[in-house]
Amino acid sequence: MTASTPTLKDLTSAGLVYAPGVWDGLTAKLAEQAGFDALCASGFAVSAALGLPDAELYTMSENLQAIRTIRETSKLPLVADIDTGYGNAVNAARTATKFVDAGVQGMFMEDQVSPKSCPICVGDPVALVDVEEATGKIRAVRDSTPDTVLLIARTDARGDDAIRRAQAYVEAGADMIMPVTKTFETIEEWERCHDEVGVPLMATLTASTWTERDFTPEVLERIGVRLALLPTQVLMAATGAAQTALRRLAGGEAPAAVSADALSHHEFVDLIGFSDVEAKQRKYLPEAAK
């Protein structure tokens, strides 16, 4: 990243930023080529790439490796999902330091009991740590990270409790608040949260949720959202396409027929950057080998 490249803080200070959920080098490359200004290392997608549900089954180091892989491919500003911080306040501070060292410019941490559960995947309200423990973890993370890194406090509480927690999290050092899709039931409640908390919000426009449907750019501006994540759209699209292709192949359909409906080999070779690699290889070959 050059000195002239805007940071995540620069981008969100200037206006609304959309960040698609990526989980590896290929999805990061595709998102950058599509024209996005920022990326989100989606915990849901990182977990799914390991063949696991989003229930904090992967370790901090596995999540960190995904971050490093994404950063090797793209230098776009990256926001990371650090789940519950993987332990107490000291654990959370170490996690944050490792992720900042890996190049993230923002991170969000939730107030669930560890191991967490994706709230849209379970029926009952998820268990939360008490607000004193949650604010202690936020303070520890804030104290261990530069002010240039966006610290986003996620709350899985509901209604008035969520607003009280959000206010405490801001006082503890959070730059943004992230209500989840179940935190509030109406746009008006989101607007009230922004008014009473006094900092920008981050929203997840998760596939098949009401926020994905109702949070237009105009609504997002109204409710004070500066960072809008698209955490599962790419994952669902890629999974659906792969599932269809594999079922067709397993069912005996001719491979050529399946390939005809997909991205061509030459298109993939171009987008993945083979020509750049070949040019570099030729540059460093002995003259006789060229």
Whether 66 shows a pLDDT value over 80: the answer reads yes
pLDDT digits (tens, 9 = 90+) for 25-63: 999 999 999 999 999 999 999 999 999 999 999 999 999
Same domain, 262 and 191: no
Nearest to 172 by CA among 153, 198, 149, 159: 153
Same domain, 62 and 200: yes
What is the per-residue pLDDT for 118?
Answer: 82
Whether 286 shows a pLDDT value over 90: the answer reads no
Same domain, 135 and 60: yes
More confident site: 286 or 150: 150
pLDDT digits (tens, 9 = 90+) for 127-153: 999 999 999 999 999 999 999 999 999
Same domain, 234 and 261: no
Check residue 232 and report its DSSP letter: S
Q: Is residue 250 part of a domain?
A: no
The average confidence (pLDDT) of the chain is 95
| φ and ψ of 23, to 5 deg | -145, -5
State mean pLDDT over 258-279.
94
- The residue written with tokens 């020509």 in the block is 275
- Neighbouring-strand partners of residue 227: 17, 202
Q: Is residue 275 part of a domain?
A: yes
Same domain, 160 and 285: no
Same domain, 126 and 262: no
Q: Is residue 190 part of a domain?
A: yes
- 275 is in which domain, residue-wise? 255-290
Q: Is residue 110 part of a domain?
A: yes
Same domain, 218 and 272: no
SS3 112: strand
| φ and ψ of 261, to 5 deg | -95, 0
Q: Is residue 41 part of a domain?
A: yes
| Domain of residue 228, CATH code | 3.20.20.60
Residues, the chain: 290
Tokens of 211: 């926020």
Same domain, 39 and 125: yes
Sign of the C-alpha dihedral, residues 7, 13, 14, 19?
positive
Same domain, 229 and 275: no
Q: Is residue 198 part of a domain?
A: yes
Q: Is residue 101 part of a domain?
A: yes
Same domain, 230 and 268: no
Task: List strand residue ranges (DSSP E) for the chain, in order.
Answer: 17-22, 39-41, 78-81, 106-110, 150-155, 176-179, 201-204, 225-230
Same domain, 152 and 202: yes
Count of Cβ atoms closer than 10 Å to residue 68 Cβ: 14
More confident site: 239 or 284: 239
How would residue 5 be classed by pLDDT, with cut points 50, 70 and 90? confident
How would residue 181 be classed by pLDDT, with cut points 50, 70 and 90? very high
Same domain, 184 and 212: yes
Q: What is 34-47 written as a DSSP string?
A: HT-S-EEE-HHHHH
Q: Is residue 81 part of a domain?
A: yes
Per-residue CA distances from 114 to 124, 147, 282 (Å): 16, 27, 51
pLDDT digits (tens, 9 = 90+) for 185-227: 999 999 999 999 999 999 999 999 999 999 999 999 999 999 9
Domains: count for the chain = 2
pTM: 0.94
